[in-house]
Structure 1
Amino acid sequence: MNEECGVFGVINVKNASEVMYYGLHALQHRGQEGCGIVTTDHKEFYSLKGEGLVSDIFNESNLSTLQGDTAIGHVRYSTSGGGGIENVQPFLFRHHTGDFGLCHNGNVVNSKELRRFLEIQGSIFQSTSDTEIFAHLIKKDTQTNRREAIKSALNRLEGAFAFLALSRDKLYIMRDKNSLRPLSLGRLNGGYVVSSETCAFEIVGAEFIRDINPGEILIININGEVTSDSYAKKTYPNMCAMEYIYFSRPDSDIEGINVHTSRKEAGRILARQSPVDADVIVFVPDSSTSAALGFSEEMNIPLEMGLVKNKYVGRTFIQPSQAMREKGVKMKLSPVRSIVEGKRVCLIDDSIVRGTTSKRIIDLLRDCGATEVHMRIASPPITNPCFYGVDTSTYEELICARHTVEEVREMINADTLSFLSPEGVLKSCNRTKMCLSCFTGKYPTYIYQDLKDANKDGKF
């Protein structure tokens, strides 16, 4: 499972591109397909982006060409928008009313309808990204000032989004009214930084100030003046549960809750809900480590590193035979025979999506002599697609959408299988409300799935 993107912004900080490099590096887990930076010295804009990791695209030499004390940056994993260099952000738009940069984390669920409407009105698109749609909506409004045009455009978007927009003299920070994606503000050397996750603040040495509120537009100018406005009449605390369960780094805090702490508590709750008689607890590295620690402490069963992850393996190519495919799995995860042989193993993971990886891991453990393998999942069964920027957009991809828990258990070759309840997720995050749509099918927004409902005459 992959999340779509991460964004980072800097204003009024010397050598903004260098700060941006470290900020994006801290957010690399949110997207490895492409990255980019746009800076301004308040006279000109400078842009550099490419396909690949932050450390592959940027170096000391080309960072020096990105002049200015104000910047926005982006790391990308493509979902609905597709890949390719034309979709790597931030985008830099040239316009007679003023040039501006723009980047986005999330997914606009009515993007097809909006694109159709804009094309009928004469807009021509250079990418397939939702972000470009937002730019066209802003520039279609020529009757009001930029802030009001942005507010009007935001009110036409449905879905999950955290936008950063950069003009010559201002940084605009925007979060969707459902607060589905995290976005936080920090202070650094007399200026400000903004990030998808607070872990980046620690890396660059910034001090956390606060989260951006749902439906908020925060504007910071080059004089350091901060203005807060809202585009939404109603807002909702619908933070995506998967941010806590899987996507975010354990050293990040999301709306006041530390990710590691919430995952560890999820493991404790899972142990109380689904205890197991086992000799050893083994976690699937790395996102299930915290949950396994909580499970182990609650059950009083030793936690061991029964699986070792090879951190230097990238994508494995499609292999021509089953034997070669199995070797590809072993390249990424290797079981430790001395830990699992002759043992009843309880395997902890954060989620099951397609089920293929779970089966291969369980088979590896059995091949190394595990007498039993009991699987415990620190999230509920994923039975519904996500339309908010996660690459699970069809029911066919989800094993739990098509099979019962018992059927899944048999398919992955586990002795027992249990999942954390939705109530357990809420409790572990110390929340009463959040987006659990991939578990419950109850979406916080209307879901647009195709163009058949788009108005053919362009009246939207």
Structure 2
Amino acid sequence: MPPAHPFDDDKLKEECGVFGVIGVADAANFVALGMHALQHRGQEAGGIVSYHPEHGFNSARRFGYVRDNFTSQSLMQTLPGPLAIGHVRYSTAGSKGAAIRDVQPFFGEFSMGGAAIAHNGNLTNADALRKELIERGSIFQSSSDSECIIHLMARSLQRNIPERVEDALRRVEGAFSVVAMTRTKLIGVRDPMGVRPLVLGKIGEGWALSSETCALDIIGAEFVREIEPGEMVVISEKHGIESVRPFRPQPAKFCIFEHVYFSRPDSIIRGRSVYETRRQIGVELAREAPVDADLVCPVPDSGTPAAIGFAHESGIPFGLGITRNQYMGRTFIEPTEQIRNMGVRLKLNVNRALVKDKRVILVDDSVVRGTTSRKIKEMILDAGAAEVHFRIASPPTAWPCFYGVDTPQREKLLAATMNEEEMRQHLAVDSLKFISLDGLYRAVGEAKGRDTKCPQYCDACFSGEYPIQPSDMIEKGFRLKAAE
């Protein structure tokens, strides 16, 4: 597998995306389109499993982009049937740059028939489960935590596959949105806190499950509703949608970073436009951290809606001071030392005529390690800007995520070792301000900000307050905030 792009390591990586369709001809074609719309959630690999009454289960798993693998007619003809599920992957558990056996969906043959699962999220007790399962005779084929679910299903004594899915998921801890399939059923499940997203759509006489609403749009499906936290839906052509709640109710803790960065801006989350929420983050940021300047400039592309909101609220002109090379793939060129020294210039270029002699406000979605932020600042100054001010559309990222996001170790997070002023000095900018946690909550629709007694979202990457115990990481020596 080719190496990932060398300058993409200063962002939090987009977990994974799942998609499934039942009740349409050539379901795998719809799934491929849905996976294409979810490509932002994972670019490492993708896979599809389909079922046809005459041809049985068929699968295809490939490294790379959906457009490069699941568009050939010859491949898609090997995936017939009215039922299919798919997965786009960015590895957050198991080995990086892993073998094809790590690519989902995973498939298992049980006494009552075959089943496939695709999982977005991360199981926080996967190490303990894997050890237990191996000691009891299970033979793992991958390094993925998701494979634990298949083995737990195999050991379940329940009478059918949906009940075995329930049984297995009661054993796991962590975050999961699962799309699964049998010969006749499409299954969707969200963890009890609803950390990861999952939505339901209607397409003709069929149904679709997706990580985001934007993937329903591409296949012409009508958004019906979100799968609720702790809900399991079983969809069949014979019985329609059946909903059960197999888990003990818990407070909802949806990932707040979906609003900030992960979801596509044209998706809808909890009834709100992601674009509008990001624009409102910029409005709140302008109110909290005003600065005299001449130009508001987004760091493309994720900083653009917040920059628009900041410019509108502050009255400072908005301008595209940085242009992104949209055609530079993750494997553009072998990352030799000479190429590495070019830094982000391969990916971003400054509009010199626009920023020259200007006091520029750069709006970005987050600061992780800070390496890319420093390079962008240097590019802006080299282009003749008079001042550079950073405004960040999320609070300082000081804690790693264990729920399906590829986050650096805590000591590599800039905000874990520096306060705001120290970060400003490290980045060598004229000013640096982050939106407050209260401001972020107001932007996503919580009028009074963050209720510290019971926040409505998972914000552990900012607050260090983990709603689900990261059991495996604690076993490896990770110290929770309370232990510091």
TM-score range, shorter chain: over 0.9
Distance 1:329 1:176 in 2: 38
Of the structure 1 ranges 268-277 and 135-144, higher mean CA displacement relative to structure 2 is found in 135-144
Give the counterpart of 2:399 among 384, 406, 417. Answer: 384
User: Following the alignment from structure 2 to structure 1, what is the Cα–Cα distance between the partners of residues 22 and 216?
Assistant: 14
In structure 2, the partner of 1:3 is 14
**Native 8 Å contact 2:128 2:472 kept in 1:** no
Which stretch of structure 1 is more off in the superposition, 87-96 or 341-350?
87-96
- Of 59, 80, 86, which residue of structure 2 is paired with 1:67? 80
User: Relative to structure 1, is the Cα distance of residues 234 and 393 closer, same or farther in structure 2, using a 3 angstrom cutoff?
Assistant: farther
Count of residues in correspondence between the two structures: 452
Counterpart among 243, 249, 252 of residue 237 in structure 1? 252
Match of 1:208 in 2: 223
TM-score by length of 2: 0.91
Measure how far apart 1:147 and its partner are. Answer: 3.1
Verify the 8 A CA contact 2:112 2:161 in the aligned structure 1. Answer: no
Q: 1:55 aligns with which of 67, 79, 89?
A: 67
Q: Which position in structure 1 is the counterpart of 2:8?
A: none
What is aligned with 2:31?
20
* SS of the residue 2:472 aligns to: coil
Structure 1 length normalisation: TM-score? 0.95
> Which amino acid in structure 1 is aligned with residue 328 of structure 2?
V
- Report the AA paired with residue 315 of structure 2: N
- Please give the per-residue CA displacement for 1:74-104, whole angstroms capped at 9, x wherever unaligned: 1000112223211111112123331111111
**Per-residue deviation, 1:424:** 1.1
Are 2:330 and 1:318 aligned? no
Aligned partners of 1:144 and 1:11: how far apart in 2? Answer: 23
User: Within 2, Cα distance between the matches of 1:145 and 1:390?
Assistant: 32
Equivalent AA in structure 2 for residue 283 of structure 1 = P
Counterpart position of 2:482: none
AA paired with 2:147? E
Q: Which residue of 2 aligns with 1:338?
A: 353
Aligned residue in 1 for 2:481: none
- When residues 143 and 174 of structure 1 are mapped into structure 2, their CA distance, relative to the original with a 3 A threshold, is closer
Residue 305 of structure 1 corresponds to 320
Of 386-395 and 138-147, the range deviating more from structure 2: 138-147
Which of 38, 46, 52 pairs up with 1:41?
A: 52
CA distance in 1, matches of 2:270, 2:123: 22
Distance in 2, matches of 1:231 and 1:262, equals: 32
Q: Deviations over 1:255-283 (max 9, x none)?
A: 11110010000000000000011000010
How far does residue 334 in structure 1 lie from its aligned partner after superposition? 0.2
Q: Deviations over 1:184-204 (max 9, x none)?
A: 000001100110000011111
CA contact (8 A) 1:112 1:450 kept: no
- Aligned-partner SS, 1:155: helix
Aligned-partner SS, 1:400: helix
Q: CA deviation at 1:224?
A: 4.9
Separation in 1 of the partners of 2:325 and 2:408? 29
Partner of 1:107: 122
Q: Secondary structure at the match of 1:265?
A: helix
Give the alignment partner of residue 273 of structure 1, picking from 282, 285, 288. 288
User: Hey, what does 1:368 align to over in structure 2?
Assistant: 383
Give secondary structure in 2 for the equivalent of 1:102: strand
Q: How does 1:88-103 map to 2 (within 5 A)?
A: 88-103=103-118
Aligned residue for 2:145? 130
Q: Deviations over 1:130-169 (max 9, x none)?
A: 2210011111112544333222211111111111111001
Q: CA deviation at 1:450?
A: 4.6
- Which residue in the other structure is 2:479 paired with? none
Closer, same or farther: CA 61–143 of 1 in aligned 2, 3 Å: closer
Tell me which residue corresponds to 1:457: none
1:51–1:84: 8 Å Cα contact kept in structure 2? no
Three-state SS of the structure 2 residue aligned to 1:304 is coil
| AA in 2 matched with 1:50 | R
User: Is the Cα–Cα contact under 8 Å of residues 296 and 360 in structure 2 kept in the other structure?
Assistant: yes
2:110 partner SS: coil
1:390-433, CA deviations, whole angstroms, 9 ceiling, x for partnerless residues?
11151122111011111111111110000001111111111461
Deviation at 1:5, TM superposition (A): 0.5
CA distance in 2, matches of 1:360, 1:441: 28
Asked if 2 retains the 8 angstrom alpha-carbon contact of 1:266 and 1:425, the reply is: yes
Q: Secondary structure at the match of 1:277?
A: coil
Contact 1:283 1:349 in 2 (8 A): yes
Structure 2 counterpart of 1:437: 460
Residue 85 to residue 385, structure 1, CA distance change in 2 (3 Å)? same
Alpha-carbon distance change, 250 to 452 in structure 1, aligned in 2, over 3 angstroms: closer
Q: CA RMSD in A?
A: 1.5
- In 2: Cα distance, 1:292 partner to 1:326 partner: 29
3-state SS of paired residue (2:337): coil
Runs (5+) with no aligned partner, structure 1:
454-460
Q: Find the aligned partners of 2:390 and 2:358 in 1 and give their Cα distance.
A: 14
Does structure 2 conserve the Cα–Cα contact (< 8 Å) formed by 1:160 and 1:180? yes
Residue 434 (structure 2) pairs with residue 419 (structure 1): yes
Partner of 1:142: 157
CA distance in 2, matches of 1:84, 1:308: 35
The equivalent position to 1:404 in structure 2, one of 406, 419, 424, is 419
Please give the residue correspondences for 1:159-238 in structure 2 after superposition, counting only pairs within 5 Å: 159-238=174-253
Q: What amino acid sits opposite 1:390 in the alignment?
A: V
Distance 1:22 1:444, change over 3 A: same
Contact (CA 8 Å) 1:380, 1:421: kept in 2 or not? Answer: yes
Structure 2 gaps, min length 5: 1-11, 447-454, 477-484
CA contact (8 A) 2:414 2:423 kept: yes
The percent of aligned pairs where both chains have the same amino acid is 46
